Amino acid sequence: MCIRNCTSVILTAQCPTAIKNICPNLSRFLSVNLRTGLFVIALLALGGCRETPSPQIEFALGTICRVNLYEGGTKNIYSRIFMRIREIDRTMTVFPGEFEGLIHNGGMVDPDSKAAEQIRSAAEALTSGVVAINEQAGIEPVRVRADLIEVLEKALYYAELSGGAFDPTVGPLVRLWGIGTDSQRIPGEEEIARALELVDWRDLAIDREAGTAFLRREGMALDLGAIAKGYAGDEAARIAKEAKIKRAIFDLGGNIVTVGSREQRGKELLPWRIGIQNPVSGRGAYIGVVPVHDKSVVTSGVYERYFESDGRRYHHILSTTDGYPVDNGILSVTIITASSTEADALSTVVFTLGAERGKALIESIPDTEAIFVFNDHTVMITVGLAGVFSLTDDEFLMSGIH
């Protein structure tokens, strides 16, 4: 693709129709429910005319994943990256029915075909993942993959750090609300109370030596939706770096990971320019831009997945205190840091903690920054972004103290 006299390219997937237009081969996957709607916009400011490799796009992790490797990207490297992303997806998914659904629904795949066999093999991998842990809750520990142990340990770290505001055992609440699914609804007070009784990160037992994970009470359930994409982003970047790729950008449903710099002019390394989604406008609109090198940029917001009832919006970020969508005046929180896993988890942690506690937490973590967007259209940033983040939408106002 040759881009002439262009100041920016927006990487976004606005709807299934747009995705079909970008990559027709993805159309057979679009019956899978698009659960995650986070699209931070990557602005690749390009000068003159530069040949860039065609980005590779696949459906995984419940969203559209777009990978663009520069200067050395080969079919083999792309294949290894997406193979790893799909492996993480199979291990950490909470929706095992997707695989068999692809086989049987609408006759998209012949049940006796090689493709169907591959899908069934993928489904079998779920026996060592999150689905198996949930099925054996209160019964017995489950032997799981080492990478899942790693992610669960990190999830417990952020649960403790946030005092339980971030909780990987939030599965019962997520299932109850069903936000982003055909069964989304406003649960009753008693239903919410029963679900909350099953949410407690301290009842997740991990035995690293034995390689097992165990939910101590029947009915408990893991949901790693607030950390799994971040881990997949880190793994994708690791593979690219091991293959000596010097420049790359990954967009896993809005979880942005950058490798290296956008380009080098003489001795100057030009940064990637990442646009921050406007949480009250349509996809592709952004409120400002932050330049980054070798960083991940992840946003959690009320616009990602939600439904409306009687004029009120119910979004997918649920409070582990009262069981309802978090309502603290924040529309979105963006985290900028080196680790995508950390950025993914912290975006939820900070959103749920609120502006004052969340900002204090981020400013206590080295090389980590945050952007807060509030429902009164004010924007607050952490100290390290002063003079770095550019607010470009005049409908929003910068506020140092909110």
Asked whether residue 335 is domain-assigned, the answer is yes
Same domain for 391 and 243, yes or no, is yes
Edge-to-edge strand order for the sheet containing 142-143? 142-143, 212-215, 204-207
Indicate the residue among 149, 180, 215 that finishes a domain.
215
Same domain for 94 and 70, yes or no, is no
Asked whether residue 234 is domain-assigned, the answer is no
Asked whether residue 255 is domain-assigned, the answer is yes
Catalogue the long-range contacts made by 395-398 (C-beta closer than 8 Å, 24 or more residues apart).
396/287, 396/288
Please tell me the predicted confidence (pLDDT) of residue 106.
43
Least confident of 23-32, 40-49, 218-227, 240-249: 23-32
What's the CA gap between 13 and 65, in Å, rounded?
A: 9
Q: In one letter, which amino acid is 265?
A: R
Please tell me the predicted confidence (pLDDT) of residue 304.
80
Same domain for 339 and 276, yes or no, is yes
Asked whether residue 227 is domain-assigned, the answer is no
Least confident of 124-138, 158-172, 251-265, 381-395: 124-138
For residue 99, pLDDT beyond 90: no
For residue 390, pLDDT beyond 50: yes
Tokens 């924040």 appear where?
A: 330
Same domain for 330 and 291, yes or no, is yes
Phi/psi at 226 (5° precision): -95, 10
β-pairing, 2-3 with 378-381?
Answer: unpaired
Whole-number average pLDDT of the chain: 83
Same domain for 371 and 256, yes or no, is yes
DSSP per-residue string spanning 39-94 = -PEEE----S-EE-PPPEEEEETTEEEEEEEESS--HHHHHHHHHHHHHHHHHH-S
Task: Report yes or no: 233 and 254 within 8 Å, Cβ to Cβ.
Answer: no
Range of the domain at 35: 2-82+239-398
pLDDT tens digits for 181-216?
A: 889 999 999 999 999 999 999 999 999 999 999 999
Task: Report yes or no: 253 and 159 within 8 Å, Cβ to Cβ.
Answer: no
> How many independent structural domains does the chain possess?
2
The residues near 227 (Cβ < 8 Å, ≥ 6 apart) are 151, 154, 155, 158, 168, 341, 344, 345
DSSP per-residue string spanning 121-156 = HHHHGGGGSHHHHHHTTTT--EE--HHHHHHHHHHH
The residues near 56 (Cβ < 8 Å, ≥ 6 apart) are 66, 67, 68, 78, 82
pTM of the model: 0.83
Residue 55, domain CATH:
3.10.520.10
Asked whether residue 7 is domain-assigned, the answer is yes
Indicate the residue among 181, 215, 249 that finishes a domain.
215
Tokens of 68: 């663009």
Confidence tier at 281 by pLDDT (50, 70, 90):
confident
Confidence tier at 37 by pLDDT (50, 70, 90):
very low
Same domain for 76 and 93, yes or no, is no
pLDDT tens digits for 214-259?
A: 999 999 999 999 999 999 999 999 999 999 999 999 999 889 999 9
Report percent pLDDT > 70 for the chain.
Answer: 77
Please tell me the predicted confidence (pLDDT) of residue 45.
37
Same domain for 383 and 362, yes or no, is yes
Same domain for 393 and 254, yes or no, is yes
Asked whether residue 66 is domain-assigned, the answer is yes
Residue 178, domain CATH:
1.10.3980.10
